[in-house]
Amino acid sequence: MDIYTLTAIWILIGLVLFPIILNYKAPYGRHSSKKWGKTIPNKTGWILMELPALMVCPTLYFTYTPSLYSLNTVFISLWIFHYFNRTIIYPLRIKTKGKEMPLIIALSAIFFNIINGLVNGYFLIKTDYTNINISMLLIGLFFFIGGLIINIWSDNQLVSLRKENEVNKYVIPKGGLFNYISCPNFFGELVEWFGFALMTFNIGSFSFFVWTFINLVPRAISHHNWYKDKFKDYPIKRKAIIPKLI
């Protein structure tokens, strides 16, 4: 069975699991629960979850790439930039003192990021971009950078809403895309990896976009419903993650 077939199966697994995940509230962050066994500090868990994404894909790429002077290296650099922010910078900025997450959640995310890193690393090594469609490249880059900006801006807004000694106090986010959706940070990630899939144009990056959608849409809906339950004056026209749609 070749890598293309395995990746297609990986996508199919995600699509089969999507209806299940859609009705499942991942027990970390504001939905944290101790019913899932041993817990670890939120920041520690976040770094452990994201670290394989920062390490596996780049290590595989720089070990086996036939040439560092290529578009492939530009693509892996964008990957590193995103995950350096998600793995190192973001966890150090969030105010989650005293909050914990189930170890099983961190382990499941580690498993996903290892598989995802291996798949994307392989295809970034093997894909030849000599005759790349420049229009597709530029459109993809536009979406990636736009999504990255949305993601970082939204994270900054959420971090600024909470004081260090008020980790359990929540307020209604306002301004920018928060006026239209509850989770513009997740929307930004969706846009990012959609752009990455357009740029790199291989089944590995497409699988990552599909899995990003599968993971983030249910999470955003859980957040959206939580906001509506907690705040009786929550804006009724806001959607969860995609303006006007979801």
Digit-coded pLDDT (tens) for 204-243: 999 999 999 999 999 999 999 999 998 989 999 999 999 9
Q: Inform me whether the pLDDT recorded for 2 exceeds 70.
A: yes
Q: Inform me whether the pLDDT recorded for 75 exceeds 80.
A: yes
Q: Inform me whether the pLDDT recorded for 31 exceeds 80.
A: no
Name residue 128's amino acid.
Answer: D
CA distances from 142 to 74, 145, 150, 165 (A): 14, 5, 12, 38
Predicted local distance difference test score (pLDDT) of residue 165? 46
Higher-confidence residue of 133 and 163: namely 133
Predicted local distance difference test score (pLDDT) of residue 108? 93
pLDDT digits (tens, 9 = 90+) for 143-197: 999 999 999 999 999 888 876 445 567 888 998 999 999 999 999 999 999 999 9
Report, in this order, helix, strand and coil percent for the chain, each rounded to 5: 70, 5, 25
Task: State the Cα–Cα distance between residues 80 and 200, nearest whole angstrom.
Answer: 15
Closest among 130, 132, 126 to 64, alpha carbons compared? 126
Task: State the Cα–Cα distance between residues 227 and 113, nearest whole angstrom.
Answer: 29
DSSP characters over 39-108: EEEHHHHHHHHHHHHHHHHHHHHHHH-S-SSSHHHHHHHHHHHHHHIIIIIHHHHS--TT-EEEHHHHHH
DSSP characters over 119-139: HHHHHHHH---TT--HHHHHH
Closest among 31, 48, 51, 50 to 40, alpha carbons compared? 48
Task: Specify the 3-state DSSP secondary structure of 181.
Answer: strand
Calculate the average pLDDT of the chain.
90
